[in-house]
Amino acid sequence: MYRSNAMRKLIVPLSVLAVLLTLPAAAQALSGPEILQAVDAKLQPGDLELYRKLINIEPDGTKKEYTYWFLRKDKDKIVTLFLAPASDNGRATLRLGENMWLFIPNVGKPIRITSLQSVVGGVFNNADIMRLDYHVEYDVAELAEEGGQHLLSLKAKTNQVAYDKLKMWVEKKDLMPLRVECYSATGLLIKTLYFKDVKDLGDGVVGPTVIETDSPLYKGYRSVMVSAKLKKRAIPDEVFTINYLPRVKDLR
């Protein structure tokens, strides 16, 4: 069948396109940093407020629950305001980068706290409760595949971070985090975080609403963090200062 010169020119690029379409994985594979930033967007997308319930569970089944309001701005500013139990109502914490403070009503000015301490006890420490984005504190040292999932090996950017190394398993199809193992500089497993119950957190943000943790260092103890009522919100810089902590409750 006769083909014009114009048609002959068209056939070649179409053939090339057909070949290229058979290689989408190679052409469109995400890098480790891109996967990590996608995970962060599922967990804490930008400036926001949300509510969390934290439950500490002891080996005998005893539970203690805390409810707090969580505010975040930029990549390194976090404030929490505790609402329950009544004995903790009005307590507030501030995180600016790796620096943290605790305000207790009727005690005086805020006091410095550390990332490895915990203002609520249990397995979650202050760095977990006021967590910055993973890509802010960690570099991707290696990207691999395990069990059909992405496996990211992360290394802390500084020695001020709570955990020196992390191993993170991420679902390939939707880039949801599944599990994170947290290690010390000596390779000791400190705790494991499990991300569960993916649904709308609020404001159209879909991600894990439950984070559970356990630790070989605290056998039989577990802690659970449940997030809800997320709203994207522009928050003034002055809120994220030591002097503002006594007034955080006025923002609700």
Domain-embedded: residue 158: yes
Domain-embedded: residue 127: yes
pLDDT digit string, tens, across residues 45-96:
999 999 999 999 999 999 999 999 999 999 999 999 999 999 999 999 999 9
Number of domains present in the structure of the chain? 1
Q: Whose structure tokens read 């083909």?
A: 3
Secondary structure of residue 96 in the 3-state scheme: strand
Domain containing 140: what range? Answer: 30-251
CA distance 115 to 13: 57
195: confidence class by pLDDT, cuts 50, 70, 90: very high
Domain-embedded: residue 3: no
pLDDT for position 217: 96
Q: Which residue has the higher pLDDT, 79 or 1?
A: 79
Domain-embedded: residue 4: no
pLDDT digit string, tens, across residues 139-170:
999 999 999 999 999 999 999 999 999 999 99
User: Where do the H-state alpha helices sit in the chain?
Assistant: 5-20, 24-28, 32-43, 126-129, 134-137
Domain-embedded: residue 7: no
pLDDT digit string, tens, across residues 113-139:
999 999 999 999 999 999 999 999 999
Domain-embedded: residue 175: yes
Q: Which residue has the higher pLDDT, 225 or 26?
A: 225
CA distance 182 to 193: 8
CATH number for position 189: 2.50.20.10
108: confidence class by pLDDT, cuts 50, 70, 90: confident
Domain-embedded: residue 174: yes
Residue ranges of E strands in 111-237: 111-113, 138-146, 149-156, 165-170, 177-183, 189-202, 205-214, 222-232
Domain-embedded: residue 76: yes
Contacts of 180 (CB under 8 A, 6+ apart): 166, 167, 168, 169, 192, 193, 195
CA distance 48 to 94: 15
